[in-house]
Amino acid sequence: MSLAAKIFWNTLMVLAIVLGLTGWWSVASERAALEETITKHGKAIAQSLAAFSIEALVSQDYPSLDKALRTIGDHADNIVYLQISRGGHVVATFGQRGVGQTFTAPVILGEEGPEQQQIGEVSAILSKRDGNRLMTARIGHLLLNSLILFIVLALALHFLIHRLVLKRVAQLTKATDGVIAEHTPERAGTAAAPAGDELDLLHARYANLLWGLDLRERERTLTIAKLQAAQALLDDVANALPAALIVLTRALQIQYCNRAAHELAGRRLPSGQPQALLATLLPPLAPHLARIAEVADNRQAIELQRQFWPFANGQRIVNIAVYPLSSAAVGGLVIRIDDVTERTRLEEMMIQSEKLSSIGGLAAGVAHEINNPLGVMIQAAQNMERRMSVDIEANQRAARELGTDLATVRAYLEKRSILVFLDDIKNDGARAATIVRNLLEFSRKTEPVREDTDLAELVERAVEMARKDYDLKKRYDFRRIKLQVEVPAGLPAVPMIRSEVEQVILNLLKNAAQAMSEPVAEHRQEEPAIVIRAGLADGYAELRVQDNGPGFSDETKRRAFEPFFTTKAPGIGTGLGLWVSYMIMTDKHHGQLLLESQPGQGATFVLRFPL
């Protein structure tokens, strides 16, 4: 069977189904409309008879009702049966042969409401003969119209198939003959032209063409697979590197970025973007675009060490290297960005640790050296005081041998305030000895041992050490800061590593002193003050260190306990003090270190120890 015959007969079959469904729907719609008309007519007849029968039923004039029903039935062709009943008994009827539809209506006596009364019922059966006759005529007309439409559409379809399908298939077959002959090589076992329609023949010809093209496609596919494998390997290697790699064309357009570059930028860097957008996507590169462009021109690599880049998560330290690409086809360059923040800070921490270790050893040695003359000085002062005492006989005897009175000598010493000076020597010597002892205990490297500690004693020792600390370079001096301690008596002892908690309190006191010495606080109206309070809350022992400094902003408060984060100028703070304090409180003591602060309203650090 030809292509035209296949399309023609299949389309006629679909068209017949569509016309049949359309005719069935039309007949169903006509039948429903006819049923609705008969229903309305039957209800109207029943209601009219009910209204007509009220008076006759009341007067029990049944002969008149029977006569009226017969008169109505004889003059109406579509009425098959009429009946009026009362109390379940038929009082008047009219009937003839035929099939119809029944309609009933009650005979109501009285107005609407509680006084109404049903005195009978009317039934009417209407014939469907006229409706069936009308539907038969409608169906005949519909079949005739559908047949005429089917024939017209079949002729139009036959014309369109030949004009729009078969003619163009023939033209396509003729046009592909030359292409098939040129691109399809001879292959063994080529089958003869298949039997079938025009499309089967065209399919066979294209199969030969595709077989020939497949030989070339295999080579191209193999080459692409090798290129993709090489590209995937290069991508894996580049993405595995921790350094950010950005490949630029000679016009400084982004050509390739590895995963680390996207992470460094905080977004996905699009390819093929011009120089201006490169500076927008990576703003820290903007000052170096001129030097990067020189690399593309003079083909000389450059390196930029220790560049400070601001990011949303803090300042980072990076090394930048720009290398020209040797391929003449590309002629661009590659930028390598290494994040050396952690390495640099670890180096600084090691240097600082060595420095602190050296200072600690030096302080311990100096403390030992000072301790000896302090002991001699205090002992000498005590001996001087004993040898001027009037209660010792040896002192009295030595005074008499020299021809003087010890009471007179003592009166002279008191007159000239020499005894007061001697007390000052003893007191300050004892004070210096206490400072040396605290310094030795604080700098001594011992295994951390938890011991029950009195908070009042702990705070007193930390405050005493802080009062001796001042730094003119860093512009803070505890001698000019009001230190107030409010530790109530009767607090339970707290298990802790005493030296480490002393370090935490000293860190907080120094931070508060430095904050209150900042230039922004120079015009404060109140005296710089630090208040230390202790108490119990929610099963914890609390120490609150409160200052009236400038306070923390929301951003600095959120990042206050991050390592290496500092708001101080370079060279003043390392950003480790609060982090170390936080680690001591949380990791080693399983407690809490909280910060409560508002800008311009001071800051309060809360140390919470579990009991």
| Residues 492 and 534: beta-carbon distance below 8 Å | no
Domain count, the chain: 5
Best-predicted range by mean pLDDT (227-241, 321-335, 469-483, 597-611): 597-611
| Same domain? 293 vs 364 | no
Task: Kindly state whether residues 491 and 605 are assigned to the same domain.
Answer: yes
Give a yes or no: residue 373 inside a domain: yes
In a domain, 226, yes or no: yes
Distance CA 238, CA 260 (A): 9
Residue 152 lies in a domain: no
We report the CATH number of the domain holding residue 256 as: 3.30.450.20
Higher pLDDT among residues 327 and 282, named by residue: 282
Question: Does residue 54 surpass a pLDDT of 70?
Answer: yes
CATH of the domain at 81: 3.30.450
Answer yes or no: is 379 within a domain.
yes
- For residues 356 and 423, state if they share a domain: yes
Q: What is the pLDDT of residues 560-593, one digit of tens each?
A: 877 667 776 654 555 667 887 888 888 888 899 9
- 292 with 358, same domain: the answer is no
- Looking at the fold, whether 359 and 508 belong to one and the same domain comes out as no
Asked if the model's pLDDT at residue 131 lies above 50, the reply is: yes
In a domain, 185, yes or no: no
Instruction: Give the global pTM.
Output: 0.35
Given a contact cutoff of 8 angstroms between Cβ atoms, the answer to whether 507 and 574 are in contact is no
Same domain, 404 and 530: no
55 and 97 part of one domain:
yes
Same-domain check for residues 454 and 595? yes
Q: Residue 76 contacts by C-beta under 8 Å, 6 or more apart in sequence? A: none
Alpha-carbon span 147 to 153, nearest angstrom: 10
Classify residue 481 by its DSSP letter: S
Q: How many CB atoms are located within 10 Å of the residue 429 CB?
A: 20
Q: Is the pLDDT of residue 543 over 90?
A: yes
- Is 158 part of a structural domain of the chain? no
Say how far residue 366 (Cα) sits from the centre of its chain. 56
| Residues 89 and 128 grouped into a single domain | yes
Q: How confident is the model at residue 494 (pLDDT cuts 50, 70, 90)?
A: very high
C-alpha span between 559 and 540 (Å, rounded): 25
Q: Choose the final residue of a domain: 445, 470, 494.
A: 445
For residues 561 and 587, state if they share a domain.
Answer: yes
Q: What pLDDT is stored for residue 213 in this prediction?
A: 75
Rounded CA-CA distance 169/469 in Å is 101
Do 440 and 453 reside in the same domain of the chain?
Answer: no
Q: Would you state the pLDDT for residue 191?
A: 47
Considering the domain architecture, whether residues 90 and 205 belong to the same structural domain is answered as no
Of the candidates 406, 423, 445, which is a domain's last residue?
445
- pLDDT tens sequence across 10-52: 777 877 788 778 877 877 787 787 778 888 888 888 888 888 8
Neighbouring residues of 123: CB distance < 8 A, sequence distance ≥ 6: 46, 81, 82, 83, 84, 85, 102, 103, 104
| Domain span at 546 | 449-610
pLDDT at residue 533, rounded to an integer: 93
Contacts of 131 (CB under 8 A, 6+ apart): 34, 35, 37, 38
